[in-house]
């Protein structure tokens, strides 16, 4: 296997793991929001909405930072 092919496989593995990390961040934020809404009930499930949206924004920020840092390494 050539060096170029190894580099492409390494990039593929690095960026495919980002999807799992994004899923974990959003899942954790949503789960905590649901549990907070169960413990502190309110009319509009605000904890779930706020924490879900926040976790999406956090995961996007994390992904963008990782992509920018990996492009600087080249």
Dihedral sign for Cα atoms in the order 59, 63, 64, 65: positive
Q: pLDDT tens-digit profile of 9-35?
A: 676 777 788 889 999 999 999 999 999
Check pLDDT > 90 for residue 71: no
Separation of alpha carbons 36 and 26, rounded Å: 15
Separation of alpha carbons 14 and 6, rounded Å: 12
The answer to whether 34 and 9 have CB atoms below 8 angstroms apart is no
Reported as a pLDDT band with limits 50, 70 and 90, residue 1 is: low
Q: What is the pTM of this model?
A: 0.79
Separation of alpha carbons 30 and 48, rounded Å: 6
């Amino acid at each position: 296997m050539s060096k170029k092919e190894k580099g492409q496989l390494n990039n593929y593995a690095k960026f495919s793991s980002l999807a799992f990390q994004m899923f974990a961040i959003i899942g954790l934020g949503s789960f905590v929001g649901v549990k907070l809404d169960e413990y502190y009930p309110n009319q509009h499930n605000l904890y779930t909405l706020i924490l879900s949206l926040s976790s999406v924004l956090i995961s996007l920020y994390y992904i963008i930072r990782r992509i920018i840092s990996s492009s600087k390494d080249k």
